[in-house]
Amino acid sequence: MSTIINANHYQVFIGNDTFIQLDKFLAKHYSGRKIFVLVDEHTRALCLPLISERIPVLQSAVVLEIKSGEENKSLETAQQLWSQLTALDAGRRSLLINLGGGVVGDVGGFVASTFVRGINFINIPTTLLAMVDASTGGKNGINFSGLKNQVGTFTRPDAVFISPSFLKTLPENELRSGFAEVIKHALIADKEKWEEIRQIENFSDVNWVKLISHSVMIKNKIVNADFKDRTIRRTLNFGHTIGHALESYSLAHHVTPLKHGEAIAIGMIGELFLSSKMKDFPVQEANEITSFILKSFNYLSPEADTAEIVKLIHSDKKNEMSRLNFVLLEGIGRPVINQFPGEQMTAEAVEYAIHQFKAVVDHY
């Protein structure tokens, strides 16, 4: 049976029978309407057959394909899809199903929410990162001018269908990328869950339905209280101020860029450093969390120019009156928004986080 979470104006179905739920949902709401499925080259090969063979209506759907990779979360990709939808006579009664990870979901949601002033869309996330984070909450967008998620919309999907069966198609580094967001959700909202998560040594024993459901419920509760990201929703950005800057830097400078979750893992260590300096977060707990993150991501060796990272942080959307704005922790489950450490301390935090990972890689 699926876990069903009632988000604001839509439902999230989580479980191994979500394909049955999807079939019923499409038959009830979209019978006779034009359906498009957005994929990348990986989800077209590995994931689309898993659902089309079980859901007859999707066998006649029009498949749209974009290239995978954060560099393709761009205005050019959105323009390509708008042109294709126009040529294929899509209209306001059409449905776009986003079958993929965060890039497919973010781009697809953005395109759907802007094409002819908005068509309906459904998210079917296929990566752990998308399942626990990107597919829910109603944020859609593209990167622009070298900045992460610089252009986008707040538009809710019609529904989200999460099947852990897709996780079998992922390499371990993709699972770990999503796991960073699982760690974040526990740190900002649930100390008891953090104590459970820190005991995880490998992914083979994880109850994914339970773990994904927990993260989605935390995010849903926060988003329902602040959909437009003015106050409490900003707590979901813990680790992201440094993390997004590292991700943008990596996209511009590295042959193999950091994945989103990898950048957030580094960002959380930097922002724990700031939390201990500014909010008296217990140093011992910060060290324990840092050790767990380093153990989980011990293969990362992020090369970065601290000054350029800080410059990128200056472009963060959360900044106020040119002040660098962070989400920090007073304790596990006790986040605080609108914290302004200043440029020098921010640079120290970036240096500290990068040094921690370099030390681990050197040790191995």
* C-alpha atoms less than 13 angstroms from C-alpha of 289 in its C-beta half-sphere: 31
List pLDDT tens digits, range 56-110.
Answer: 889 889 999 999 999 999 999 999 999 999 999 999 999 999 999 999 999 999 9
Tell me which residue of 102, 108, 109 sits closest to 178, measured CA to CA. Answer: 102
pLDDT of residue 360: 59
Query: Mean pLDDT in the chain?
Result: 94
332: left (phi over 0), alpha (psi -120 to 50) or beta: beta
What letter does residue 257 receive in the DSSP assignment? P
Beta strand pairing call for 3-7 and 10-14: antiparallel
List pLDDT tens digits, range 255-292.
Answer: 889 999 999 999 999 999 999 999 999 999 999 999 99
- First vs last Cα of the chain: how many Å apart? 43
Tell me which residue of 35, 91, 87, 102 sits closest to 62, measured CA to CA. Answer: 35
The torsion angles phi and psi of 328, rounded to 5 degrees, stand at -120, 175
Enumerate residues 6+ apart whose C-beta is below 8 A from 207: none
Enumerate residues 6+ apart whose C-beta is below 8 A from 269: 290, 293, 294, 352, 353, 356, 357
Q: Which helix (H) or strand (E) holds 161?
A: strand 159-162
Residue 364 binned pLDDT confidence (cut-offs 50, 70, 90): very low
What letter does residue 258 receive in the DSSP assignment? P
Whether residue 271 contacts residue 327, with contact meaning beta carbons closer than 8 Å, is answered with: yes
> What is the DSSP code string of 301-317?
-----HHHHHHHHTT-T
The torsion angles phi and psi of 233, rounded to 5 degrees, stand at -60, -25
What domains appear along the chain, each with residue ranges and CATH number? 3-169 (3.40.50.1970), 172-363 (1.20.1090.10)
Q: Which two tokens stand for residue 46?
A: 């590995």
pTM above 0.95, yes or no: no
